[in-house]
Amino acid sequence: MIDTMDALPGLSRSWLADLERKDPDLFGELAPELVIEAGGDDVGDAFPAGLGEVLRAVNLRGKAVGAFRFAPSGDGPPTLEVSNYDRQVREHFDAPAGLTFIGQYGSGDVFVCSQGVGIHDPDRMPAGPRIVAPDFAGFLLAQANAYDAYKAHIIRHDDKEAYRRRQAEIMQTPRFAAVDVAAIFEAQLKG
């Protein structure tokens, strides 16, 4: 389990550790998308929910953390990349101006707003957005833990009970007290 942003690069690298030894060529193909490096881009306070702080701490350009994919990366500044992605998402439906779409979660979208980080929740009646964390760091760390548990317990052993135990452990951690860990673990499970 991780609960600090500085632990994220090491955890992300561990997801491919076996592959790096067994198939360096495949590792070379997957690492650019999955291995998160420390040190990102300074975007100031252009986005709500502490997104800028996270982007300064780690490089998420074009990265995936399990079912979560950060906005596509290009050669432009991150503020421009996120703004372009947000504009592309808005072409498909009408969304309130206070939301900024920053990536995908499975087949749904992830957004930041003044209330925190939200995902599209198809299980909600009616289906719609759901705030899952008050800040982007909390969301990203919970998502990293969910994916780590998914790899360890679902992919390797098909053990939902162990996956749910890891979820309960994360929920008891003070860092995640305000994060809807259950929703994030469920969303990761559904992919």
CA distance 97 to 1: 35
Asked whether the predicted pLDDT for residue 42 surpasses 90, the reply is no
Q: What is 71-128 written as a DSSP string? A: PP--SS-HHHHHHHHHHHHHTTS---TT-EEEEEETTEEEEEETTEEEEEETTSSS-E
Asked whether the predicted pLDDT for residue 125 surpasses 80, the reply is no
Q: What tens digit of pLDDT does each residue of 44-61 get?
A: 888 999 999 999 999 998
**Tally of structural domains, the chain:** 1
What CATH number does the domain containing 84 carry? 3.40.1580
Domain that holds residue 15: 5-190
- Which run of H or E residues covers position 68? strand 68-70
For 139, residues 6+ apart whose C-beta sits below 8 A from its C-beta are: 110, 116, 117, 132, 133, 179, 184
